[in-house]
């Protein structure tokens, strides 16, 4: 079809490491423009693109259907079958981020989608195809309903297609829409090396950089797990909690005010009136954030603007902005320019007035049914496209107005962690399934393949539990009203996290298989090759019979020696890189359950 259309090409350098290439196809007969905007990376084996469709004619276009942002064919040699590595999303279970692998033999067909319209609700939109010591990473950047299909032929080929799940629409005159972002990263050799190239690319080109620097490890604390919800919080107890953490020597980077600070009558889920409840906060949230700022602590404040419940200001005053049946909770349509403009101005005002440093955006509703119910037969997929485009534009404008402000993406935990979202935010709560140690170990095991920066809650002074919850971001959920808590142990564990947390942004190597069973060991390694340093975390689970285990490490220098130190014993040992790589690091944990945190440093 495109062979008969006029083609224009454009090239420009975005910076030293990125070149943008644009292909624009024009259908003179119908006035349809199809534009592919691609970015070629020079420092990574990576390319990405987004497609745009625009109607420049005077009438509607014909139906555009089954638009695939990616449709390609891979060819393998006779040896080495295709293996598809993919991962569970974050449906709030112990299995969140579980790694899966499917061998794609002749005529095999695998279709993977998210559910409900949130991009990592059931499955992650990141895939690694492996065959014959080479492979291809595929990512779909779309905070909506995506689908990916992998179809094996009878010989050596594999067809890969991905995009928005449902597209069947006409474009009106002047209308433009986009597809999901597609990213391909090519690799050869070792699959774990490929994942580490991906992690480095994420850190270099995608992770938000407030104040011009990559996001580093930090700790917050909140009172929501003590009061049940912020509906029971007030100015006095929020200030009290900030002071108590600092009094006990737990330095906070952020104080986190979660759901319920706004005017509501029936509890935190009653969202849609985004004004501070002055009965509980007579001086606004500003009294708390000013108090925290004076002590070197920034603020996080929770919002959930997309879900609107009956009786709230938005529900009563702007029904034309809402999607959904009358009398039930609705969806604020961010594809509506008026709704998006109001939300941007309103939230921007609250950020400025209340002294908010980090904007936390939750999303506790599946939007897909609302989107599709709003589409006519010849406009299927349009509401979703406009909503996604509006959602990203809303965040982009907030970030433009607040250059150094982080955004926390939360959608019932980690249910909106696609690449377009993560370019604008960080997931401070990777899953709503929190605190239980074995699940927390497994969540880290899986998410670290794809997302270098993530967080979870922490609430224990037991070393095994605390270390199971260690992440680049921690949110303290301690009841510091309890002065009998063992704060000495907490300070020691907190100091160990501060010491070791920078390593979490290094290369990642799992050292054991994935398992949720209670009779095994689990271990992994974070390595910073530029520094010659790293970290090993190992866990002996409650029912494991084995008191000791040996773990061959990865990424080290064969010819160097390393100083190896347990954070508990603080007795350095010197071990050769060859021994750590070949024989492995021997760890003994007599107690069960138990956890070890080991650092190593190359001897210069």
**Average pLDDT of the chain, as a whole number:** 96
- Is the pLDDT at 226 greater than 70? The verdict is no
Percent of the chain with pLDDT strictly greater than 70: 99
- Is the pLDDT at 337 greater than 80? The verdict is yes
| pLDDT tens digit sequence for 27-60 | 988 999 999 999 999 999 999 999 999 999 999 9
The pLDDT assigned to 231 comes to 57
8 Å CB contact between 557 and 577: yes
The DSSP string of 280-334 is T-TTTTHHHHHHHHHTT-EEEEEE-TTEE-TTSHHHHH-GGGEES-TTS-EEE-T
Q: What is the mean pLDDT of residues 554-573?
A: 96
- Is the pLDDT at 471 greater than 60? The verdict is yes
- Is the pLDDT at 80 greater than 90? The verdict is no
The pLDDT assigned to 230 comes to 55
Which residue has 């030293």 as its token pair? 16
The pLDDT assigned to 82 comes to 96
The pLDDT assigned to 77 comes to 81
Half-sphere exposure of residue 415: CA atoms within 13 angstroms, side-chain side: 24
Q: What is the mean pLDDT of residues 503-513?
A: 98
The DSSP string of 228-267 is SSGGG--HHHHHHHHHHHHHTT---SEEEE-TT-BS-SS-
Pairwise CA distance, residues 257 & 465, whole Å:
24
Q: What is the mean pLDDT of residues 492-505?
A: 97
**Confidence bin at 542 (pLDDT 50/70/90):** very high
- Is the pLDDT at 319 greater than 90? The verdict is yes
The pLDDT assigned to 390 comes to 98
The pLDDT assigned to 187 comes to 97
8 Å CB contact between 195 and 447: no
| pLDDT tens digit sequence for 582-603 | 999 999 999 999 999 999 999 9
| pLDDT tens digit sequence for 89-109 | 999 999 999 999 999 999 999
Q: What is the pTM of this model?
A: 0.97
**Confidence bin at 564 (pLDDT 50/70/90):** very high
What is the phi/psi pair of residue 51, to 5°?
-100, 145
| pLDDT tens digit sequence for 354-396 | 999 999 999 999 999 999 999 999 999 999 999 999 999 999 9
Supply angle C-alpha 88, 539, 97, rounded to 5. 5
The DSSP string of 451-519 is -S--EEEE---SHHHHHHT--SEEEE---TT-TTS-HHHHHHHHHHHHHHGGGGGSEEEE-S-----TT
**Confidence bin at 227 (pLDDT 50/70/90):** low
């Amino acid at each position: 079809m495109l062979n008969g259309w006029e083609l224009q090409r454009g090239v420009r350098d975005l910076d030293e490491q990125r070149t943008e290439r644009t292909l624009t196809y024009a259908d003179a007969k119908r006035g349809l423009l199809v534009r592919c905007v691609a970015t070629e990376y020079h420092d990574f084996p990576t390319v990405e693109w987004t497609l745009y469709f625009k109607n420049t004619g005077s009438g509607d276009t014909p139906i555009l259907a089954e638009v695939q942002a990616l449709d390609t064919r891979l060819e393998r040699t006779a040896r080495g079958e295709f293996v598809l590595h993919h991962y569970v999303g974050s449906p709030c279970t112990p299995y969140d981020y579980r790694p899966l692998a499917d061998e794609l033999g002749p005529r095999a067909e695998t279709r993977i989608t998210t559910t409900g319209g949130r991009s990592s609700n059931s499955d992650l939109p990141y895939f690694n195809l492996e065959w014959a010591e080479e492979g291809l990473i595929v990512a779909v950047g779309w905070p909506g309903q995506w689908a990916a299909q992998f179809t094996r032929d009878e010989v050596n080929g594999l067809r890969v297609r991905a995009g928005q799940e449902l597209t069947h629409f006409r474009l009106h005159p002047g209308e433009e829409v986009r597809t999901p972002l597609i990213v391909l990263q090519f690799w050869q050799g070792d699959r774990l090396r490929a994942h580490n190239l991906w992690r480095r690319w994420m850190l270099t080109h995608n992770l938000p950089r407030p104040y011009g620097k990559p996001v580093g490890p930090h700790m917050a604390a909140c009172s929501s797990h003590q009061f049940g919800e912020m509906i029971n919080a007030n100015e006095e107890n929020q200030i009290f909690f900030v002071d108590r953490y600092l009094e006990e020597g737990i330095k906070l980077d952020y104080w986190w005010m979660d759901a319920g600070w706004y005017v509501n009558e029936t509890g935190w889920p009653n969202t849609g009136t985004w004004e501070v409840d002055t009965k509980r906060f007579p001086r606004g949230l500003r009294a708390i954030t000013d108090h925290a700022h004076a002590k070197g602590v920034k603020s996080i404040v929770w919002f959930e603007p997309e879900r609107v419940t009956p009786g709230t200001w938005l529900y009563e005053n702007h029904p034309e902005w809402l999607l959904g049946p009358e009398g039930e909770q609705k969806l604020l349509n961010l594809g509506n320019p008026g709704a998006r403009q109001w939300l941007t101005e309103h939230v921007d005002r609250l950020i400025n007035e209340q002294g908010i440093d980090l904007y936390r955006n939750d999303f506790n509703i599946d939007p897909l049914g609302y989107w599709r119910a709003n589409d006519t037969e010849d406009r299927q997929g349009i509401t979703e496209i406009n909503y996604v485009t509006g959602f990203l534009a809303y965040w982009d404008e907030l970030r433009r107005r607040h250059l150094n402000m982080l955004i926390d993406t939360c959608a019932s935990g980690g249910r909106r962690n696609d690449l377009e979202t993560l370019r604008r935010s960080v997931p401070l709560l990777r899953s709503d399934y929190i605190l239980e140690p074995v699940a927390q170990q497994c969540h880290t095991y899986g998410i670290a393949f794809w997302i270098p920066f993530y967080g979870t809650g922490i609430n224990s002074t037991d070393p095994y539990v605390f270390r199971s919850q260690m992440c680049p971001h921690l949110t303290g959920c301690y009841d510091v009203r309890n002065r009998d808590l063992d704060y000495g142990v907490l300070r020691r564990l907190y100091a160990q996290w501060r010491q070791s947390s920078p390593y979490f942004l290094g290369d990642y190597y799992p050292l054991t298989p994935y398992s949720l069973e209670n009779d095994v060991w689990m271990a992994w390694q974070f390595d910073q090759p530029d520094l010659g340093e790293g970290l090993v975390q190992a866990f002996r689970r409650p029912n494991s019979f084995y008191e000791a285990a040996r773990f061959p490490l990865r990424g080290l220098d064969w010819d160097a020696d390393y100083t190896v130190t347990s954070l508990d014993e603080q007795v350095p040992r010197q071990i050769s890189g060859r021994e750590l790589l070949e024989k492995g690091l021997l760890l003994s944990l007599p107690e069960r359950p138990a956890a070890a945190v080991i650092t190593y440093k190359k001897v210069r």
